[in-house]
Amino acid sequence: MHLLLLGVSHKTAPVDLRERLDFSSRDLGAAVEALATRPSTAESVVLSTCNRSEIYVASDDPFRAREDMTAFLSEYHSLEPGSFAPHLFAHSDEAAVRHLFRVAAGLDSLVVGEPQILGQVKDAFQTALDRRCTGPILGKLFRWSFAVGKRVRTETALGEGAVSISFAAVALARKIFGRLDGRRVLVIGAGEISTLTAEHLRTNSVGEIQITSRTMASAETLAAAVAGVAIPWEQAMGTLGHADIVVTATGSQRPILTRAHVEAATARRRTDPLFVIDIAVPRDVDPAVGDLEHVFLYNIDDLQSVVQENLSRRAAEIQHAEAIVSEEIVKFASWQRSRGVVPTVVALRQRFDAIRRSELQRLDGKFAGLPPEARAKADEVTRLIVEKLLLDPTEQLKALPDEETQVAYTEALNRLFRLRPTESSTDVTDPSPSIGPGDRHRS
Amino acid sequence: MNLIPLVLYAAAGVAYAIHFVRRQPAVGRTATTLLLLAALSHTFVIGMQTMEVWHAPIAGVSRAVSSFVWLLGLSYLYLELTTEERAMGVFILPILIGLQMIPVLYPGVANPAPVLDSPWFWVHVASLLFAYASFALAAMLGLTYMLQFKEIKKKHLGYFYTRLPSLHVLDAMNSRAVIIGWLFLTIGVIVGVVWTAQARASSPGDVNIQAMSLDDPKIFIAVLSWLVYSFEVFARRTLGWTGRKSAWLSALGFAIVLLNFLPVSYFVTTSHTFQ
């Protein structure tokens, strides 16, 4: 069984092509089902976000599967293969594993370390699972990738530090005020970044958010979006004294908040800190406001440099994260190798069990006089003996270090016990006897 | 016997330092566990010493220091377990380790003078030790507040910014530590005054007791620290002196306390040197 990956990402394809190859806006479940019905694709998962469309397949016939995957992309999106082929990347086996692990870890993201991707990978797998399109190989691979993503997040600082202006502002507020519950916010000017910041503040459960703008209508729109209160422009200075966090983002050419304003408005606050976020260009707040003892003033450049610093700190963690990915690839490869012996293990079990059954059957006449409990007990005991006899050989076999030794051992076992293992890979927990090449895993 | 707690404090100190640098949750839990073990073994040591002499082992500087370390360790653990903030450990542990070396290096066995054999004395010393432990915590919190304040104010969001708790949390913890310390300091001083008055009457010939007055450096400095902390408590409530001002006062107060606890006890005072 081989692992195959075909896809486009922000690294290989421009946005308009990514849009045309996007699955997420349409029914992802239908897409993965359409892919899975192709004869060469034993197991399929489709991962689609705004930055990537990737299809993962496990197949016994990699050449056919690769053709099928390209054909699927072309047919599903009604695109000529020539129009997207130059932008495709294709990986197989270990390279495909590495790619998925890096994606789940956030290493392949546009903003390295961003947290959403892991959830998106989980959703993609869940969809395939719900539609019964995945199987033991992709199941193991994807679950493994979740663990890699989690490990990278807990063991490295790859996802640490805000990397957008609005997140940086909220992170700062939390370092000043601790929990933001009940903190009062005043937003002056309803622009894009102030909207984002207000939204983040709202999700951090701040208290009242007051919004003012020169045009009352835009204040009201923003107020509705963040469950805030719109107040007239003229009243803004009056409410300044009650605010803990002030966000300014007007188009004013001159500062609208001077030191005198803030001093007067906050005279009664004593030393309670006031956090002023000035994201306007040109600046809305006189820099002298920042000289006040209890005022923390950050303008857009300050926040930008915080973001820059965090980005470079994340970059410094990349090596550490890549090391974790490599480590996990080695572990995954050894799991995959252990699957090579599965047919032999299954055959061995079947052989032993067949002997057990036939012996029990042979003795059936002698057991006839026994009560049913005793017969059940005999069945149970013989089964346990077989299990115990096979436990160590099974574990030893799966732990063999390389493929060559594996082949030698399985051949020896086949000869010693007259086994004829079926070629199809089967889960070791499923020792059902008749899995021919035609039966494909869809469970 | 004080060596085992010292070794465990040192191990916890190393773990807290590693945790501060690398911020791995598992290392943090190890640090807390080591500190818990240190506090437990220290409790055992102090319990044994109590059994040995049949009173709390707080007479004599060496044993008083050991008890102080024990109380500070426990207070810090309480603070850590209630706030789930581990970053302060790296500042507190060096104090614990440094001070715990005193009883290890100078294990002086003090048999308290007969005049000290009064319940007042034990209340007096125990309250003051606990007050000092709280003040030590408050001072550390104040110091870290100033570090954090400086980083945010100067827009240098660096090493400490990511590791230290928020200004609000540091300030709230500081306030709590100062109020608790101030209460025990007040109790300790009042009990000291009452007990001195009693002892004066019962042992008129004791030089120590006769030297108990504001002229004595130890008593003078104790009263001075009481004034500083009283002002801090008062100013927080009525003048709104929170944050940086409060942090400074905590550091100043503890500098005075430390002065009293170590050099003054050894070299200067005449009143508190019971042989």
pLDDT band at A428 (very low <50, low <70, confident <90, very high): very low
**For position B209, what pLDDT does the model report?**
65
Partners of residue B23 in chain A, C-beta under 8 Å? 157
Shortest distance, CA B245 to any CA of chain A (angstroms)? 9
Q: What is the pTM of this model?
A: 0.70
**For position B104, what pLDDT does the model report?**
80
**For position A385, what pLDDT does the model report?**
94
What CA–CA distance (Å, rounded) separates A102 from A113? 10
List the structure tokens of B158.
């660096």
More confident residue, B120 or B167: B167
What CA–CA distance (Å, rounded) separates A162 from B229? 39
Has residue A427 got a pLDDT over 80? no
Question: Do A66 and A6 contact (CB within 8 A), yes or no?
Answer: yes
pLDDT band at B112 (very low <50, low <70, confident <90, very high): low
Shortest distance, CA B168 to any CA of chain A (angstroms)? 5
pLDDT band at B275 (very low <50, low <70, confident <90, very high): very low
**For position B193, what pLDDT does the model report?**
85
Cα distance from N-terminal residue to C-terminal residue, chain B? 23
pLDDT band at B264 (very low <50, low <70, confident <90, very high): low
Has residue A390 got a pLDDT over 80? yes
Has residue A263 got a pLDDT over 90? no
Share of chain B above pLDDT 90, in %: 12
Q: What is the pLDDT of residues B62-94, one digit of tens each?
A: 777 888 888 889 888 888 888 778 888 888 888
Q: What is the pLDDT of residues B25-67, one digit of tens each?
A: 888 899 999 999 999 999 888 888 777 766 666 666 677 788 8
Q: What is the pLDDT of residues A90-142, one digit of tens each?
A: 999 899 999 999 999 999 988 888 888 999 999 999 999 999 999 989 999 99
Question: Do B260 and B166 contact (CB within 8 A), yes or no?
Answer: no
What's the mean pLDDT when you consider all of chain B?
81
Q: Which of residues 26-85 of B touch A (CB under 8 A)?
A: none
Name the residue of chain A whose CA is nearest to B154's CA.
A296
Partners of residue A172 in chain B, C-beta under 8 Å? 152, 157
Q: Which of A264, A295, A261, A275 is nearest to A183 (CA)?
A: A275
Shortest distance, CA B244 to any CA of chain A (angstroms)? 9
Name the residue of chain A whose CA is nearest to B245's CA.
A271
Nearest to B245 among A271, A302, A305 (CB): A271
Residues of A forming the active site: 50
pLDDT band at B110 (very low <50, low <70, confident <90, very high): low
Q: Which of A281, A300, A14 is nearest to A164 (CA)?
A: A300
Instruction: Look at A175 and B167 and tell me if their CB atoms are within 8 Å.
Output: yes
Please state the length of chain A: 443
Q: What is the pLDDT of residues A398-416, one digit of tens each?
A: 888 777 888 888 888 888 9
- Most confident among A143-152, A204-213, B45-54, B194-203 (mean pLDDT): A143-152
Question: Do A269 and A246 contact (CB within 8 A), yes or no?
Answer: no
**For position A440, what pLDDT does the model report?**
39
Partners of residue B241 in chain A, C-beta under 8 Å? 271
Has residue A430 got a pLDDT over 80? no
CA angle, A30 as apex, A25 and A32 as ends, to 5°? 95
Name the residue of chain B whose CA is nearest to A291's CA.
B153
Looking at residue B52, its amino acid is E
More confident residue, A350 or B114: A350
Rg (CA), chain A: 31
Has residue A190 got a pLDDT over 50? yes
Q: HEC string of chain B?
A: CCHHHHHHHHHHHHHHHHHHHHCCHHHHHHHHHHHHHHHHHHHHHHHHHHHHHCCCCCCCHHHHHHHHHHHHHHHHHHHHHHHCCCCCHHHHHHHHHHHHHHHHHCCCCCCCCHHHCCHHHHHHHHHHHHHHHHHHHHHHHHHHHHHHHHHHHCCCCCHHHHHCCCHHHHHHHHHHHHHHHHHHHHHHHHHHHHHHHHHHHHCCCCHHHHCCCCCCHHHHHHHHHHHHHHHHHHHHHHHCCCHHHHHHHHHHHHHHHHHHHHHHHHHHCCCCCCC
